[in-house]
Amino acid sequence: MAMKEEDIMNDAKAGEGITECCEGNLSRRRFIQGSMILATSSLIFPGLAMAKARTDKRLVVVILRGGMDGLAAVVPFGDKSYAALRGDLALSPDSVRRISEMFGLHPVFENMHDMYQKGELSVVHATATPYRQRSHFDAQNVLELGSKAPNDFKDGWMNRLVRAIDNRDNKLALAIGQTKPLILRGDSPSGSWAPSALPDTGDDFMELVARVYQNDPAMKRNFNDALMIQDQTSHMMEGENDKKLARQSRSGQGFVTMAGIAGKWLSEPDGPRLATLELGGWDTHAQQGTEGGRLANNLSLLDKGMGALKESMGAAWDKTVVIAMTEFGRTAKPNGDRGTDHGTAGAVFLAGGMVKGGRVICEWPGLKEGDLYQGRDLNPTIDLRSITKGVLNDLYGLSPSTLNSDIYPGSETARSMTGLLRI
């Protein structure tokens, strides 16, 4: 394919503004740099002229993938049917961290128990999305879209939230992780970040790449977002060993590392205000354990991650809400393998200085045979969207009608909960 002479001429013109002051012969390399800086800077920092004051509220959504067993995380030991129903998987009332006559947190929840006692953590129990089948993938789709049914919308609910808060602020939302979860995907800007173990690439090369991506809208947008995030985070990452972080982030304790980094960035004045974290490993079909074991290890990871997040956020914790949620709960009865199968209702955690905590919020459905959903699962009594709507209403002043039209269309029946946060 022949090169087009007019492209080269256009580039020459684009570079004029910067290069005219330089003397003598311009090397080709200098020329490219000059034109590139001009061409890409306006693309990389479209938000420079942003006038609106940024919100100082922080919202972190932790997606627990695989279906967390809510009855193991927040144990209803006070329900008379609990011990018999759970059989081998029942935790003794003495082993749990009691928070009321009815409920206890799992014994590994050290940090979260501390938050609860300080009034910074609430549990909403017996809650579920409107999805009533048992596919992980459809259930996560509904959780992240904020929809009634799978694939109802193209974009995730946090992406729509970005649009409602400030669509021009491309530093507003950041996914901490290797990929961007569905909850953040859509037309509004958001970034994604994970520590990189690859050597740094010089600016020259980056500028060439930006050039080559000009005609590929999706790659152009993601690349510009990535450059913007690098620019934004470079001073925060000073003194950190990227390679070491990259290794840690992929280890068994990776969630704790990532949560710590998330907190650090969220605490920065020009850092993100919305962030997502993800933790998998909840699909405990076999040998899930009780006080210890596979599920306890994962719950401990969640607890340590929450602790790391709080610690690294410092004073910004007071302006923060963390929502930790999963796609569905698990069967109330153990299956034949000392595990649990895909169920319906489960527990959601709300944490952070903004949370009016120290409470278990629920309309407890009971655990008697007849109380269970389809005779097998904890019965959902609260629509999960009622919780997130309540948080968004309190945190951003988004009215119920705005929430119904812009963030969760078709959610009128899931009334916004009130009084979840301190405002």
Partner 1 sequence: MTKDAYIAANRFGLGASASEMKIIDRAPKDWLRKQVSQSTLSSELSNISSGLKSTVDIITASGDLRNLDNDAKKKLVKQSRDIYLQEMQNRVTNAVVTDAPFVERLALFWSNHFTVSIRGKPFLTSIAGSYEREAIRPHIFGKFSDMLLAVVQHPSMLTYLDNKSSVGPTSKLGQRRDKGLNENLAREILELHTLGVNGGYTQDDVISLAKIITGWTIKPPKMPGEAGFWYFSRMHEPGAHRLLGKSYSEKGQKQGIEALTDLAHHPSTARFIATKLVRHFVSDDPPAQAVKAIERVFIQSGGDLKAVSLALIELPQIWQRPLTKFKTPYEFVISSLRLFDAGNNDVDLDKIIKSLTLLDHAPYTALSPAGWDDSEDAWLSPNALMNRVEWCHAVAQSVAYPGNPLELAQNTIGPVANADTLLWISRAPSGRDGVGLLLASPAFQRR
> By CB neighbour count within 10 A (0-12 exposed, 13-18 middle, 19+ buried), where does 46 fall?
middle
Residue 173 phi/psi, 5° resolution? -120, 135
84 touches partner 1 by CB under 8 A: no
Give the DSSP H or E segment for 59. Answer: strand 58-64
Single out the segment in contact with partner 1 by CB under 8 A; choices: 100-108, 115-123, 221-229, 378-386: 221-229
CA 179-185-188 angle, to 5 degrees, is 125
- Name the CA dihedral angle for 251, 256, 259, 264, rounded to a multiple of 10 degrees: -100
Restricting to residues 125-144, which ones interact with partner 1 according to CB under 8 A?
133-138
CA–chain centroid gap for 143, Å, is: 12
213 touches partner 1 by CB under 8 A: yes
β-strand partners of 323: 61, 350
285 touches partner 1 by CB under 8 A: yes
175 touches partner 1 by CB under 8 A: yes
Q: Which of 203, 216, 240, 363 binds partner 1 (CB under 8 A)?
A: 216
- Nearest Cα residue to 167 out of 52, 291, 334, 327: 52
* 34 versus 357: smaller Cβ distance to partner 1: 34
Q: Which residues contact 268 (CB under 8 A, 6 or more apart)?
A: 236
Residue 411 phi/psi, 5° resolution? -110, 20
Q: Which of 117, 196, 413, 418 binds partner 1 (CB under 8 A)?
A: 196
230 touches partner 1 by CB under 8 A: yes
Single out the segment in contact with partner 1 by CB under 8 A; choices: 56-64, 212-220, 317-325, 414-422: 212-220
How far apart CA 151 and CA 140 sit, in angstroms, is 10
215 touches partner 1 by CB under 8 A: yes
212 touches partner 1 by CB under 8 A: yes
Q: Which of 286, 314, 363, 423 binds partner 1 (CB under 8 A)?
A: 286
25 touches partner 1 by CB under 8 A: no
Q: Which of 339, 343, 353, 357 binds partner 1 (CB under 8 A)?
A: 339
Give me the amino acid identity at 374.
Answer: Q
Binding site for partner 1 (CB under 8 A): 1, 3-4, 7-8, 28-29, 32, 65-66, 87-88, 133-138, 150, 175, 177-180, 182, 185, 191-194, 196-201, 204-206, 208-209, 211-216, 218-219, 222-223, 225-227, 229-230, 246, 250, 280-281, 283, 285-286, 335-337, 339, 341-342, 374
